[in-house]
Amino acid sequence: MLDRLADDRRRALDLLAESGLTGSTQSALLARGFTVELIAGLVRAGFAMVAIETVSGTTEIACVRITEAGWRALEGPTDTE
């Protein structure tokens, strides 16, 4: 696990943490300036997970949620500590 998170990763995890159990759509994260590469990096590191959900019967969305490892990473030291 990373002891320190880069600012952009920390901001993304903070947003996911605020989103609660429902998480945030990938589209919403992209609209806030996060990149696909950043989201994929969080997933690869185990800090987030992506679930494909069907809405309105046929529309699929990618929902990103923070994992337990993501919560632990947020509790760790920041770059300013």
**Domains of the chain from N-terminus onward:** 22-75 (1.10.10)
First to last CA, the chain: 17
How do residues 39-81 score in pLDDT, each as one tens digit?
999 999 999 999 998 988 889 999 999 999 999 999 876 555 4
Helix (H) or strand (E) holding 31: helix 26-31
The type of residue at 66 is I
pLDDT score of 55: 86
pTM (2 decimals)? 0.80
